[in-house]
Amino acid sequence: MNSTQYFNSLQYSLIYSFNTSVKDTDQMTLILLHLSLGRCTNSTLRRVNYNSFYLPSG
Q: What is the pLDDT of residue 16?
A: 64
Q: What is the pLDDT of residues 7-29, one digit of tens each?
A: 667 666 666 666 555 555 566 67
**DSSP, res 25:** S
Angle between helices 27-38 and 3-21 (to 10 degrees): 170
The range of the structural domain enclosing residue 29 comes to 3-54
Q: What is the pLDDT of residue 15?
A: 66
Please tell me the total count of domains within the chain. 1
Q: What is the pLDDT of residue 31?
A: 67
| Ramachandran angles phi, psi of 27, nearest 5° | -60, -35
Query: 6 pLDDT exceeds 60?
Result: yes
Confidence band, pLDDT 50/70/90 cuts, at residue 55: very low
User: Each residue of 19-47: b (16+ CB within 10 Å) or e?
Assistant: beeeeeeeeeebeebbeebeeebeebbee
